Structure 1
Amino acid sequence: MSMRVLVIGGAGFVGRRVVAQLQAAGDFAITSASRRPRSMPGVQALSLDARDSDALRTVLRDHDAVVNCVTGSGPDILANARSMAQVLPGSACRRLVHMSSMAAFGELDGDIDDDAPLGDGGGWYAQAKRDAELQLSALAGPDLGVALLRPGCVHGPGSHLWVERVGDWLRQRRLGDLGVAGDGWSNLVHVDDVAKAAVRALQVALPADAPLRANLVAPDSPRWNDYFTALAIALGSTPVRRIHPRQLQLDAYLAAVPLRVWERLAPRLGMGPSLAPPALPPSLLKLFAQHRRLRSTNATAVLGLQWTSFEDGVADSARWYRSSRQLAP
């Protein structure tokens, strides 16, 4: 009998790829649940607010496993985790795959293994991801296998920030070779590898007394300068400019505020936000310089993940970007 899998957040960027990889793997009966569901051939789509424990309890009666791809605001992430923690122990589900984030490590720097203690700081998103992990990791036991997946910066087709926005910034010559400011590790992972890891976490044996924690970062993930250069070349945005630190500071700290205001106001005024360039948040400057590097030992050794190469990932991302922006091949 096929494993009945509920993908919560199945209409989102990562969730759609998880559903597609489950279909490709076969032997799964798939339900894609979201507050705004999308129909997909061969997949049951339903409307679900996973913050509602009663609604979640009803849906889980018909499923053996759940892949939780919920994202959103901090309160949404925490409400979803509380609902899951309340409902799963009494359900028919025997496996939980929870999509966390490398943000849960907060301000930790240097090399970070799968089982490294979570850090502090990092803002509201990092705190919400940490709190969600703590609630859901406590569910692991003989009756419920739990896998906590922590993707790095997810690129590939459909990536709004790490392909679409970065591509725009490269073409606008607002990003390029950042020098020391771009010497941090990118911790990139292709979206298909994230989805494959979720599928593998449904298939392999999990620890009986603790969650499996797996960082998801490609072993050949480069420094940010290398990524910006490779993507710029793939997009034909050459020569790649050397960006002066002062330009970055002005862009992120002076221009970012009015640009973000415009992004919010433009739809209300019936105007496209694309009339102005996208804001470059100050938080990204810190990330670009951060020497934090996640190690993905469990994803390779336990989940048996075979990684998309950096070169193939960049080519895949560039094809999608060109198509989405209607650029010549």
Structure 2
Amino acid sequence: MRVLVTGASGYVGRVVVGQLLRRGHEPVGLAHRAKPDIEGVIWRHGDVRDIASLRAATEDVDAVIHLSALAGVRKAFERPVRYYQTNAAGVLNLLEVLSERRAGPSRLVAASTVSVYGVPVRQPITEETPADPRNPYAASKVAAEQAIGWTAAAGAIGAVTLRVANVAGGVGPHGDRDDSRLITRACAVAAGRIPELDVYGDGGAVRDFVHVLDAAGAFVAAVAECEPGHHRVFNIGATAARVTDVVAMTRSVTGRDVPVRFHPSHPGEVRELRTDTSKAREELSWRPRYSNLARLVADQWHAEIGPRPAAPPSMTSCPSVTPNQPTPQRSVP
């Protein structure tokens, strides 16, 4: 299957492209900046905000995995219009060009976020939990999801939306470069690139993490599950951990100190955010394989410092909140 991946040069995108190749698909990468040197990938230049370039990029593909987006809650408050232009209007452009195709309904797998749920009372969160976005980033994603749903209902596409938790970890030298994310920043502090880790509240807030390899696997698995006329939504998460657990694990994995500065918690901050992923496990046959806390930190640490990292400890020594579903232990072959 020929699959267009928007945002293919990004953190998650390049891993998705790699998994598509390994599973026998023909990936087409859409990039508006530098194009990574990945053998076997067809690269096309374009931007989701430019409908003409999208029309050309989707001309001969069988499916689209849409990852291109602006992320970051705090930045979204500063530039909400830009977030809607990229995250919502970009999806509208994509839906328009897919609806124009004469080859029949297209397949679309779109990335969303668990932050669309806002501050849910019941944990873990299921897909039936109503969306209640509390920031422009999440709101722009809800708008995109709604447009996808209505377009699918009209019969123009078959679609799957994945509401993804906090993606972390790395693959070889390629890790997360967004220092606003907890595991990434903790590893940067351990490496001395950032002086200290700012923690808001007492460090007991619980967040859900998923390895970039596992997240990419979910996107690839979902391509085959796009049914014309239907829009299905799945949570993708794996391991719940407190902020203090991440700090402790980073110290253990790296053998280095992680200086922490505590601040008052932000008003309205979510104390706990855990996803129920049973639907994805049952309907997509998806299982997280790499998302234990030790592996998440170790793989990001590898990417942070280079090819000679400290060995990760066993899971029996990992301080962490028990995940909603256990993550099997496996190493990358």
TM-score range, shorter chain: 0.7 to 0.9
- Partner in structure 1 of residue 277 of structure 2: 296
C-alpha displacement of 1:120: 3.1
SS in 2 for 1:321: helix
Partner SS state of residue 202, structure 2: helix
* Residue 199 in structure 1 maps to residue 220 in structure 2: yes
Aligned to 1:316: 299
Q: Residues 315 and 44 (structure 1 numbering): CA distance in 2 closer, same or farther, change over 3 Å?
A: same
How far off its partner does 1:193 sit?
A: 0.8
Deviation at 1:21, TM superposition (A): 0.8
What is the correspondence of 1:94-173 to structure 2 with a 5 Å cutoff? 94-111=106-123, 112-121=125-134, 123-141=135-153, 144-157=157-170, 158-159=175-176, 160=178, 161-169=181-189
User: What SS is found at the alignment partner of 1:67?
Assistant: strand
Tell me the CA shift for residue 20 of structure 1.
0.7
Partner residue in 2 for 1:80: 90
Q: Deviations over 1:102-143 (max 9, x none)?
A: 12222334421023221131x221111111111112222455
Where does structure 2 lack aligned partners over 5 or more consecutive residues? 71-81, 312-333
Q: Deviations over 1:282-317 (max 9, x none)?
A: 76x975x62121111222111112212413223222
Report if aligned partners of 1:95, 1:146 keep a CA contact under 8 Å in 2. Answer: yes
Larger strand percent:
2
CA-CA distance at 1:173 after TM superposition: 7.2
- 234, 243, 249: which one aligns with 1:214: 234
Query: What is the CA-CA distance between 1:216 and the residue it aligns to?
Result: 1.0
User: Are 1:174 and 2:196 matched, yes or no?
Assistant: yes
Residues 327 and 53 of structure 1: CA distance in aligned 2, closer, same or farther (over 3 Å): same
- Establish whether residue 305 from structure 1 lines up as the match of residue 286 from structure 2: yes
The answer to whether the aligner puts 1:232 opposite 2:251 as a matched pair is: yes
**Structural RMSD (CA):** 2.7
Identity %: 27
Give the C-alpha shift of residue 101 in structure 1.
1.1
- Determine helix, strand or coil for the equivalent of 1:62: coil
1:223-302 to structure 2, matched below 5 A, reads: 223-238=242-257, 247-249=261-263, 290-302=271-283
- CA apart distance, 1:224: 2.3
Alignment-mate amino acid for residue 174 of structure 1: E
Equivalent of 1:14, from 12, 15, 31? 12
Deviation at 1:208, TM superposition (A): 5.0
| 1:188 and 2:198 correspond | no
Q: Secondary structure at the match of 1:294?
A: coil
> Contact conserved, 2:6 with 2:65, CA < 8 A, in 1?
yes
Gaps of 5+ in 1: 251-281
TM-score, normalization by structure 2:
0.76
